[in-house]
Structure 1
Amino acid sequence: MSGSSIDGVKTLLHPVSDLAAAKAVYSALLGTEPQTDSSYYVGYEVAGQQIGLVPSGGPQAMTSPVAYWHVSDIEAKLAEVTAAGGTLKDAVRDVGGGRLVATFTDPDGNVLGLLQDR
């Protein structure tokens, strides 16, 4: 049961309704300005983690924060979790720079993410 290794949760995305207001709060909380600052995504790199703010939940219409588990082989890990009872939510897609993401739900409907850097 190890088609893909796990490197932990290193990315946490938060849907926000007011990007400017959220950016002020997260900048104060994290004690730093964002490394990525655009109209569709604001991202912070803090202690080896990526904390992202996604206006209106982005194209995937997130309604709550989503933790992304970093994996070495996203297709293999997605196959493992769906075979074990997870349900595919958003298929694997490239979000830029060769970074692949996908989401699935656990049996209780919690959304979990997978992320693979190439």
Structure 2
Amino acid sequence: MTAGVKTIVYPVKDLERAKAVFGALLGVEPYADTPYYVGYKDAGQDVGLDPNGHAQGLTGPVPYWHVDDIRTSLDALLAAGAETLQDVRDVGNGRLIASVKDADGNLVGLLQDPQA
């Protein structure tokens, strides 16, 4: 059902400062550099910076589990007691994301890439 955590998104308040820190940490240039999202890829890991994350309720980094069927996975998490933080939405080119909080307030993200 899941392919593992391949994406971690950090909510950031100062995008330029965050870019400097993560650029130094990862040692690579971003593959996406827009005012609403900056993304890095390093060793198969996708690290994103979201300047709107705090406004969307993100309180810390969100690990995104890559899944085949985001709606089925989201329904299963909600049935198990998770609480919706962000319902399924398309973030571009058919990529779908959603996020929930578990009973302890931990954030869990789901990500479904478009079918090839």
Instruction: Give the TM-score normalised by the residue count of structure 1.
Output: 0.90
- Counterpart CA distance in 1 for 2:75 and 2:52 is 29
The 5 Å alignment of 1:1-118 reads: 5-57=1-53, 60-118=56-114
| 3-state DSSP of counterpart to 2:94 | coil
- What are the ranges of 5 or more consecutive residues in structure 2 without an aligned counterpart? none
After superposition, what is the alpha-carbon deviation per residue over 1:42-76, rounded to whole angstroms, capped at 9, x for unaligned?
10011111100111426524221111000000011
How many residue pairs get aligned? The number is 114
Partner letter of residue 33 of structure 2?
Answer: D
- What are the ranges of 5 or more consecutive residues in structure 1 without an aligned counterpart? none
| 3-state DSSP of counterpart to 2:22 | helix
